[in-house]
Amino acid sequence: MNAQSVITATGSPIVPFTGGWRLEHTYARLPAGFFASVSPTPVSSPRLVLLNRPLAEELGLDPTVLAQSESAAWFAGNVLSPGAFPIAQAYSGHQYGNFVRLGDGRAILLGEQITPRGERFDIQLKGPGPTPYSRRGDGRAALGPMLREYIISEAMHALGIPTTRSLAVAATREPVFRETTLPGAILTRTAASHLRVGTVEWAASTGEIENLRSLADYTLQRHYPELTKVEQPYVALLEAVLQRQAALIARWQHVGFVHGVMNTDNMALSGETIDYGPCAFMDAYHPATVFSSIDHHGRYAYANQPKIAHWNISRLASAMLPLLHTNEEEAVAVANGVLKSFPEIFRTHWLAGLRAKLGLFYEEPGDIELAENLFTIMQEQGADFTNTFRDLSGEVMTNIELAAHAEFRAWHTRWQERLGRQLQNRDEARALMRRHNPAFIPRNHKVEEALAAATSHGDLSELEKLLDVIAQPFAYDRQLPDFSTPPAPDAPVYRTFCGT
Ligand code: AMP
Ligand code: MG
């Protein structure tokens, strides 16, 4: 694009038409093999569908410039933003337990944006055409799944859960061919990085310890700089990733989020939630909840997520063995020493969050039982996960049936007694709960309605309304029954599909 000039929204003087990009690409300094240079495949007439203005501002980008129709060319990969160096990243991973070589088959990393606060975020296009890792795939993405990733990742962000984010969706106005023909789109995704457990598995699979070391050093520098100076930085790195993942999965459990495809290539070393495919928020509480149409055995069911995270971290440990000790047996002992801490660390995070959800300010030995009894009742009654906690955080129970249920009433009395033993009064407890129990989540049926309107006739009004609601998940003062009512009990079972 030729250099042009525009007036910014703030009325400041004319600035060069760059939008504020300040891209670097430290990842591309890793040894050859970690990536392949590849250019996005241009599309004929891209159009910007969604732009995340607050995120643009946080990144130091000018939303007014980005919103101009010419900018669709950046978000489609037709024109590269200043300083971009497009690459596809190499990685491997365990998919449903089996090791596979993967890599960015439909994503291109443009670079790392340096924000005005000096932070560094990957800028990645998802769906910009084939890469050397595409195998038989077309490297493209459909509009529906990209809008879906936008919605869910922004919901997670608003809930305060670490996540990659969505800066923009551009329609390619070219078809993609799946089971049916669908409109194509490209998502611009931002991330603390796209380093995955699978990236380390790839490095290990090359058999070159130098690759492993370069990647571990790079990861430490980028995400855990405080650990570069400790005595055993690689052991510390493994511990740190384990801790962030334990904390992350606990957060998912607290809001009923089911990732759906927790393969090791979909687990970020930064501790962010990444790769929104068949994910969804649970309506009625059930530990075996699965949404993904291909997860036949429930490997990635709600209640399995902590166990799977632990297993994934053990794959990371296994890939890192040569870095943990020069002697293999010793290395295994070190790895096992770290790995065995996962259940307890997870449980600590999980319990801390549950206490906040129940308005409890400090620990008592019976807390776990109190929480688990509630979950049992919720499961038996098919109670909505979000709304049960939302009800408990309010003054009256809107779920009249649950409120009248004898076991629930007995539980409620015990809970009230427990609250009564605290120094904090009920208002303080309620305030704590209202900071931890969302009033609004992206309800599956609302997401589907919004996507249907957007993809079938380009009507974005529902989608924009939904984005507005999920941007303030804890807004208890908003009365939006349409967005908080669970689906009818006889509604069809919600199914999700991998986002290709
Ligand atoms: P995912 O299920 O999104 O985590 O993707 C698993 C692997 O399949 C990754 O290596 C993706 O890059 C690749 N992949 C998914 N969809 C496509 C596509 N349409 N074209 C090429 N590669 C793809
Ligand atoms: Mg993936």
Determine whether the shortest distance from the Cβ of 498 to ligand 1 is under 6 A. yes
426-453 as b/e: b if 16+ CB within 10 A:
eeebbebbbebbbbbbbbbebbebbbee
pLDDT score for 492: 79
Atom 7 in ligand 1: which residue has the minimum CA distance?
102
Q: Is 134 in the pocket of ligand 1 (CB under 6 A)?
A: yes
Would you state the pLDDT for residue 5? Answer: 36
What does each C-alpha distance from 442 to 49, 234, 340, 473 come to in angstroms? 20, 38, 35, 9
- Report in angstroms the alpha-carbon separations of 244 from 28, 224, 248, 298, 310: 25, 11, 6, 24, 12
pLDDT score of 18: 78
SS (H, E, C) 279-320: CEECCECCCCCCCECCCCCCCCCHHHHHHHHHHHHHHHHHHH
477 is catalytic: no
Ligand 1 centre and the CA of 500: distance in Å? 7
pLDDT in tens, the chain (500 residues): 333 333 334 444 444 447 899 999 999 999 999 999 999 999 999 999 999 999 999 999 999 999 998 999 999 999 998 899 999 999 999 999 999 999 999 999 999 999 999 999 999 999 999 999 999 999 999 999 999 999 999 999 999 999 999 999 999 999 999 999 999 999 999 999 999 999 999 999 999 999 999 999 999 999 999 999 999 999 999 999 999 999 999 999 999 999 999 999 999 999 999 999 999 999 999 999 999 999 999 999 999 999 999 999 999 999 999 999 999 999 999 999 999 999 999 999 999 999 999 999 999 999 999 999 999 999 999 999 999 999 999 988 999 999 999 999 999 999 999 999 999 999 999 999 999 999 999 999 999 999 999 999 999 999 999 999 999 999 999 999 999 999 887 887 888 887 64
Pocket test for ligand 1, best of 102, 201, 273 (most atoms within 8 A of CB): 102
CA distances from 289 to 283, 298, 324 (A): 9, 8, 37
Return the ligand 1 atom nearest residue 91 CA.
10
Q: What is the pTM of this model?
A: 0.95
Give CA–CA dist 102/434, Å, rounded: 42
